[in-house]
Amino acid sequence: MYKFHWLESKQLDRVTNFSTEIEPLKYALQNNIKAYYYCTYAKEPKYFGLKNRIIYLSSFKNKYIKALEFRIRVVLRTLRIVITENHSVIMVNQDLVAHVLPARFINKLFKQNNKFIVDIRTTPTRPETFDRDMVNFHKKFNLAINFFHGFSFITPFMEKYVMQTYKKENYKSVNWSSGVDIDLFNPNNHKRNNHTKTFKIFYHGGISVSRGNLNLIKAVEILRNKGLDVELLQLGITVDNVITDYIETNALQDWCKLLPPVSIEQIPQFIADSDLPVLPFPNFMAWRVSSPIKLMEYLAMGKKVLAPNMEAFTDVFKSNKELLYYFNTNASDPVLELKNSIEAICNDDNFVTFNKECSSFVANNYTWDSQAQKLFNFAQKL
């Protein structure tokens, strides 16, 4: 049985939803796959019951020294792996490609059979610096194009977008997307607590202008001014102060709530208590190529979601498009488009707050086990 070594330049204790890292490790443990995850931390190491599988390659408190230490230890750890192991898989994100090249060269020099994968879960996410950041992205990724054995992407569209830059044929790749823990996000275990006439809109995750959260606030504000009994709850880290400033300046606090992040175990109840989860992302490449975990979590809880009509969402459903409400990301006025879409749903006499088909779709297609299986099967066949 091969060993799987997954290294990411990530501070795991700062991640609000760590399922992408933790759930594949749980799957590996349950299926006798020797998989190990290497990362760093900001304040304290967290193990989530996987102390023998999560390995922290940092110990210094100063963040600059810690970052340097982590990169040095990545180089040393991967060198040790290729020297002492012969049929292992080493997977890194694009930021660490250059740091494992010494191990890749030693692997080749000593004719070891270890394989190297680059895993792309995201592109740069700042619209104002996106083009410049993508140049740096490709400088890192290009090293993997020349020296790695396989490529992993979060979505097929991500693969298409990244690989269009290169004239590489017959390469080996896998797509494994975000998934959901259907035992945790089980609607049977989270009954709705608040049965009021108020139509409740919900969002959780990063809260920023680039994600469309301010547009969503303004859209709901218009509906409130029209007399609709609707409220908005957004849960997560607020990135842009302009959002909190807008709420305070316009005195929207009675119906527009911003709450800090909560544990993942608390999120299903928030979803259960809502009527309509909304993903207000604008037409920006970083969101088009993504695979939002929150989408799977909403669906698992039996909620139809209002989402943008772009690839990260439309490619998921194909013949099951009726499981989502879509808004047009090419509309000239994104606030008005969101407002009109929400209003139409509010006024739909056939609207229901629970849709069993949404839960079944995720259970059949997007569990973390099914996604982890794709990754580990690919690694074994390299």
pLDDT greater than 90 at residue 133: yes
Q: What is the pLDDT of residue 319?
A: 64
What's the pLDDT score for residue 135?
A: 96
pLDDT of res. 15: 78
| pLDDT tens-digit series, residues 68-111 | 999 999 999 999 999 999 999 999 999 999 999 999 999 999 99
Per-residue pLDDT at 16 exceeds 90? no
Q: What is the pLDDT of residue 318?
A: 72
Would you tell me how many other CB atoms lie within 10 Å of the CB of residue 166?
A: 13
- Is residue 194 predicted with pLDDT exceeding 80? no
Query: What does the pLDDT read at residue 217?
Result: 98
pLDDT of 323 strictly over 90: no
pLDDT tens digits, one per residue of 25-77? 999 999 999 999 999 999 999 999 999 999 999 999 898 999 999 999 999 99
The confidence score (pLDDT) of residue 14 equals 83
Sign of CA dihedral 247, 253, 257, 262: positive
Nearest to 324, CA basis, from 347, 346, 307, 343: 307
Domains of the chain: 3-179+367-381 (3.40.50.2000), 187-365 (3.40.50.2000)
Q: What is the dihedral of CA 87, 90, 91, 97, to 10 degrees?
A: -140
Sole residue written with tokens 């909304």: 278
Q: Per residue in 142-155, pLDDT tens? A: 999 999 999 999 99
Q: State the pLDDT at residue 2.
A: 85
User: Model pTM?
Assistant: 0.92
Three-class SS string for the chain? CCEEEEEEEEEHHHCCCCHHHHHHHHHHHHCCCEEEEEEECCCCCCCCCCCCCEEECCCCCCHHHHHHHHHHHHHHHHHHHHHHCCCCEEEECHHHCHHHHHHHHHHHHCCCCCEEEEEECCCCCCHHHHHHHHHHHHHHHHHHHHHCCEEEECCHHHHHHHHCCCCCCCCCEEECCCCECCCCCCHHHCCCCCCCCCEEEEEECCECCCCCHHHHHHHHHHHHHCCCCEEEEEECCECCHHHHHHHHHCCCCCCEEEECCCCHHHHHHHHHCCCEEECCCCCCHHHHCCCCHHHHHHHHCCCCEEEECCHHHHHHHHHHHHHEEEECCCCCCHHHHHHHHHHHHHCCCCCCCCCHHHHHHHHHHCEHHHHHHHHHHHHHHC
